[in-house]
Structure 1
Amino acid sequence: MPDNVGAQWNAGETLEDAKRHLLSPSEEMAKLGKATRPLIAYGEGIHVVDAHGRRIIDGPAGMWCTQIGYGRREIADAVSAQSLKLSYNSPWYTTNSPSIELARRIAEVTPGDLNRVFFTTGGSTAVDSALRFTEFYNNVLGRPEKKHIIVRREGYHGSTSLTAACSGRAFNWQNFDIASPRITFISAPNIRLAPGLTEAQFLDKLVREFEDTVGTIGPDKVAAFLAEPLLASGGVIIPPKGYHARIKAICEKHDIIYISDEVVTAFGRCGEWFASEKVFGVVPDIITFAKGVTSGYVPLGGFAISERLLDKVAGENAKGSYYSNGYTYSSHPVSCAAALANMDVIERDGILQHVRDVSGHFADALRSLRDLPHVADIRVAGLVGCVECLVDTASPEVTDRDKKLGGRIDTHCFDLGLLVRPLGNVCVLSPPLVITKSQIDEMIAILRQGILKAAAELKQPAEA
């Protein structure tokens, strides 16, 4: 137990304070003030420990982000040292050495000519800033009509007004005014919802849909295509092989900026610093990142951008313009110092290779659950995977009963010592990248028990 978690900490009082004062993300308003979420006291390696001292495997790695695990002294020391040296500087008229060094380090591992880095406060602001760049870019080029954005259903890109409007998960739209006339959705690349098609046929269908969508809107009006390499919060939806490269070729034909949203997949999740090129076969014009850049220790996000794009609106082509988008905490020195320490640990400990070494075992372990009742699909890439459960596996439609089944599985797993990312009927696992094969086996064994317990409850007459 860390030194700062001791007897003076009263869990009961803390939980009561949470009920009285805390408004959490995705708060169920009917329960506001009456209930609160499980209280986590501290983390250690791949585990978190709750207020009762129970050790729980952190299956989602926080929110897809605790790459190197909890309790790493290297990050704490880097944060402490930088806080004492320079805790803040205004990015509007000064700069700091950690942000400069981090930009260089990131540029060394990005694909293509994505050699310049803009820092933000997290994933939502990273994607928002990248999209705002496309507005700036086309305005400077004298193309004010070229502002349309194409995104996918079931994608998730953030919680600013613009990024929320680009997120195709229906749940995120409830009771918010999100719709935007300059954003168009195309199909999620989920082959489970395309029965009867081969992967090649499904890929052709998706590409035709994109091409037709561009044609309908007008190539002179489409500014950007925004896509996660795999749709993470949409349920770990993995496109057919070659999807991104074929979409990128259409984007190049029509001068459409291809933005790869790697907030989840960057910094090792798929065994590479960035997954776009080496895992998914595409070199984007812009890559957004956050989460794993600091392993979740402190907030930081940003995007890396192509020199080719910048050259068109910089120097003699600038036309007096300023890319005036930014934040009080852009290039924050403490966050950048944490990210540098995080990259050091990933390199020193060979974590990218470790992910490549264990990801096959992780995939096999997940797929071993195919024999269980109500398991409809299993999807996995690197160290992110999911088990999709349906009451009736023959039906592709997701019902409220399916979502309740997923909720039961989550609850049983938590009681058994495993956090599972709750996404309706989809059980998502994306553990810290330092997880071992034996820990993977333990995690999957708990998930198996959770699914079996929930399945047994469905057989009870009251639940029929």
Structure 2
Amino acid sequence: MTLDLPVTTDEILTTDVHLVQSWADLNALKQNGARTAIVAAEGSYVTDSEGNKLIDGIGGLWCVNVGHKRAEIIDAVTDQLNTLDFYSTFYSFTHPAAAALAEKLAQLAPGNLNKVHFGNSGSVANETAVRVLHHYYKRLGRPKKRMVLSRHGAYHGSTHLAIAMTTPGYSEGWHKAEGVVHHLAKPHFWREGDGMTEPEFLDSLMADMKASIESIGAENIACFIGEPIMGAGGVIVPPAGYHRRAAELCARYDIKVISDEVVTSFGRLGHFFASRDLFDFQPDIITTAKGLTSGYQPLSATIFADEVHEVISAPGAMFTHGMTYSGHPAAAAAGLANIALMERDDLPGQVQTTGKLFENTLRGLADLDIVGEVRGSHFMMGIELVKDKATKAMFDPDLNIGMRVAQAAQKRGLVARPLGNILILSPVLILTPAQIAEVGGILRDSIAEVMDDLAA
């Protein structure tokens, strides 16, 4: 069977009017706003409907870690569908692919994180983590421990609870789970340091956390959730030692730690998981998605400690949580093939070199007049554009400065993600040194073009 899909740009965009895009200005799209139709992909590149070949500088959406059109993953998914297209992991049922992937994740995850629950998105993984901990404390006879500590600048998803854990600006105009989440101070030294040294700023963040815990009452707090590096909040890297000290503080108050590694896992920072290997802390739960299958299938995982599982699996209660597609056979097969490919090619090890080259290439753009801060690590980078470097004053939002630079970059063959006054780069992890140099050149030329336009 051949699918009858639209082919030309006009056909695609005419058909697309029925599609509700995610995180988009729907009114602008309704008024025939600019859209790009991606029709093919291979390696580090995507192709649009006009035949333009573009470096995938956002990795699909933080996720196509091993690159596009990898036969190893495509063949594994095809073989799985030809063997077992679908069966659920509900009730007492299991199947080989989900079982094998759970075992592999337990091997890769740090410490005693040996139990895995599958979902289909990072939002679901984070909701699962909190729901599991609510159930955990209820089974311990401590049902009041329900509050979640998150942070201003966080992004943990867009479902009802996940968006409540996300920085408040992202839920403006929408309802969300109320009375469950408290947001701690944003750990962004460059913007929030207020004349302090970085160690002093770290002390102030820990003081804020401690004061919040004591104000709310530790007996009412279930967990702290944090991304090792904040992603959609602007690629914010906390001060050195932040996560270790936060975990130590939480342990003193019997508060569980959830590390949201939806973006930072599976090689993006040079490790399968970054929490312990890069940030020196041991969480009670790790959530992951995106790079777990490199985006070839929708799959997420909530990986929790043996101790948590012992409580929730004790006699006397069902585990009444899960989704139809939890551990879908094709998605699990994609995850297994993706991990096997990464291990065979030592992709995390490669990223420890090429990712640093990418990071340093982008940091070299800091000499441009409107580049305020280049931040991030390895293949997870953000460029904050400012009107005045000395004062860090931001451009008027109506200028849409990030979008203007992104559009200039796309004309030159690079997909970058605008986020207000920030440009985000999270490319496929297989970029060569030559491609990294090309990305740096495109960004420099694109920022310079926008600077010239502003000066005109």
Per-residue deviation at 1:174? 2.6
Contact 1:79 1:335 in 2 (8 A): yes
| Residues 248-275 of structure 1: per-residue CA shift (max 9 Å, x gap) | 0111111111000000001111110000
| Residues 195-238 of structure 1: per-residue CA shift (max 9 Å, x gap) | 31111111111011101100000010111100000101111100
Match of 2:185 in 1: 187
1:18 aligns with 2:13: no
Match of 1:407 in 2: 403
Match of 2:198 in 1: 199
Match of 1:352 in 2: 348
Structure 1 unmatched runs, 5+: none
Match of 1:387 in 2: 383
* Aligned positions of 1:15-414 closer than 5 A: 15-19=13-17, 21-35=18-32, 37-93=35-91, 94-170=93-169, 172-178=170-176, 180-193=178-191, 194-315=193-314, 318=315, 320-396=316-392, 398-401=394-397, 404-414=400-410
Whichever residue aligns with residue 61 of structure 1, its letter is G
Aligned-partner Cα distance in 1 for 2:8–2:450: 33
| Residues 286-344 of structure 1: per-residue CA shift (max 9 Å, x gap) | 000000000001100011101122223333xx4x1122110000011110001101011
Per-residue deviation at 1:138? 1.2
Tell me whether 193-202 or 239-248 shows the greater mean CA deviation.
Answer: 193-202
Whichever residue aligns with residue 91 of structure 1, its letter is T
Percent of residue pairs identical: 37
Aligned-partner Cα distance in 2 for 1:264–1:277: 15
Tell me whether 32-41 or 272-281 shows the greater mean CA deviation.
Answer: 32-41
| Residues 343-363 of structure 1: per-residue CA shift (max 9 Å, x gap) | 111011111111011122112
Contact 1:156 1:168 in 2 (8 A): yes
| Residues 47-87 of structure 1: per-residue CA shift (max 9 Å, x gap) | 10000111101111111000010011111111111111111
Contact 2:351 2:378 in 1 (8 A): yes
Q: Could you say if the C-alpha distance between residues 344 and 459 of structure 1 is closer, same or farther in structure 2, counting changes exceeding 3 Å?
A: same
Aligned-partner Cα distance in 1 for 2:4–2:71: 19
| Residues 402-436 of structure 1: per-residue CA shift (max 9 Å, x gap) | 86121210110111111111111111111111111
Whichever residue aligns with residue 175 of structure 1, its letter is G
Q: Could you say if the C-alpha distance between residues 32 and 431 of structure 1 is closer, same or farther in structure 2, counting changes exceeding 3 Å?
A: closer
Contact 1:228 1:262 in 2 (8 A): yes
Contact 1:385 1:429 in 2 (8 A): yes
SS of 1:207's equivalent in the other structure is helix
Contact 2:36 2:48 in 1 (8 A): yes
Per-residue deviation at 1:178? 2.3
Whichever residue aligns with residue 215 of structure 1, its letter is E
Equivalent residue pairs, number = 452
Whichever residue aligns with residue 77 of structure 2, its letter is V
Aligned-partner Cα distance in 2 for 1:422–1:265: 19
Whichever residue aligns with residue 273 of structure 2, its letter is F
SS of 1:224's equivalent in the other structure is strand
Per-residue deviation at 1:182? 2.0
Aligned-partner Cα distance in 2 for 1:403–1:261: 33
Contact 2:228 2:261 in 1 (8 A): yes
Contact 1:5 1:42 in 2 (8 A): no
Aligned-partner Cα distance in 2 for 1:361–1:348: 22
Whichever residue aligns with residue 266 of structure 1, its letter is S
Tell me whether 196-205 or 256-265 shows the greater mean CA deviation.
Answer: 196-205
SS of 1:279's equivalent in the other structure is helix
Q: Could you say if the C-alpha distance between residues 6 and 30 of structure 1 is closer, same or farther in structure 2, counting changes exceeding 3 Å?
A: closer
Per-residue deviation at 1:188? 1.3
Q: Could you say if the C-alpha distance between residues 332 and 7 of structure 1 is closer, same or farther in structure 2, counting changes exceeding 3 Å?
A: closer
Per-residue deviation at 1:185? 0.5
Tell me whether 53-62 or 4-13 shows the greater mean CA deviation.
Answer: 4-13
Per-residue deviation at 1:396? 3.9
TM-score (norm 2): 0.96
Per-residue deviation at 1:140? 0.8
SS of 2:30's equivalent in the other structure is coil
Match of 1:428 in 2: 424
TM-score (norm 1): 0.94
| Residues 123-153 of structure 1: per-residue CA shift (max 9 Å, x gap) | 1101111111111111111111110101000
Whichever residue aligns with residue 159 of structure 2, its letter is T
Aligned-partner Cα distance in 2 for 1:225–1:168: 14
Aligned-partner Cα distance in 1 for 2:99–2:260: 22
Contact 1:166 1:183 in 2 (8 A): yes
Per-residue deviation at 1:165? 0.6
Per-residue deviation at 1:169? 5.0
Aligned-partner Cα distance in 2 for 1:30–1:224: 38
